[in-house]
Amino acid sequence: MIKKVLIFAAGRGTRMLDLAKDRPKHLIETNGRPFLYHLLSNLKEAGFEEMIMVVGYKKEFMDKFFGEYKNEFKLQLLNQFEILGEDRYGTACPLECAQDILVHDSFLAVNGDNLYAVEDLKRFNIDDKYTYVAGWPHPEPQNYGVLQVDNEGFLKKIIERPKEYVGNLINTGLYKFTPEVFKYLDKISLSPRGEYELTDVVNLLAQEKKVKALDLKGVWLDFGRPDDINKVEEYLNAQAGS
């Protein structure tokens, strides 16, 4: 059984506009609690016990969150800016920060600004030799990374923001990795937007047929824009009433 989770929570959250001006967007409240609390609660309920969270922007607020909820979650904070500096940026950076901790274990990796159903999180507790990536059918796939999957369920490639239609199964930022992933970190280079991309790492693994795609069955909520707050609260209220 996989027990460890790596949570990506270093970003600024510019799409949240003024709501994230003075705090990480992960701490914007939904139903009286920081959004991050609901993600951690679902991870804990799904059986993941040790949570490693990579933080950066407004770290002092994450420290305060840790202090308030340290009795509820086994949580370790890593400061990306202290480890890598503020000039090195991108979705692959949290892996660099946590590799000494996770180099011997398979682990889950999630975006700290996304919410996943408990049952889907449980489905990703697969302790085998493959990497897994979660897909979700979306009506506007051109705004996301699109998963190209073969007939056997293996990922062929993630195509970022395709200009032409290549499918509607998008990447939701939920992964299961084996320690093998760390061998590929030094094989990627800066992307066209000047960042070190996790999807470039996954694509290298996919070229060797080491990545499988799984569709989410429950819910996937992206907490990126102000109007997402109501969507998350509606979901949480529905869950509380069920």
- For the segment 147-163, the average pLDDT, to the nearest whole number, is 97
**For residue 12, pLDDT beyond 80:** no
Q: What is the pLDDT of residue 104?
A: 95
Mean pLDDT of 164-181: 97
Residue 195 DSSP label: S
Q: What is the mean pLDDT of residues 170-191?
A: 97
Compute CA distances 237 → 47, 166, 212, 234, whole Å: 23, 35, 33, 5
Q: Binning pLDDT at 50, 70 and 90, where does residue 193 land? A: confident
pLDDT at 241 over 80: no
pLDDT beyond 90 at 23: no
Per-residue confidence (pLDDT) for residue 14, from 0 to 100: 67
pLDDT mean over 23-38? 92
Whether the predicted pLDDT of 17 surpasses 80: no
Q: Residue 107: how many CA atoms within 13 Å on its side-chain side?
A: 24
CB 49 within 8 A of CB 157: no
Tell me which residue range forms the domain holding 69: 4-241
| C-alpha–C-alpha distance, residues 239 and 242, integer Å | 5
For the chain, what is the mean pLDDT?
93
Mean pLDDT of the 223-232 span? 90
The CATH number of the domain where 155 resides is what? 3.90.550.10
- Split into its structural domains, the chain has a count of 1
Query: Token match 């000039």: residue?
Result: 87
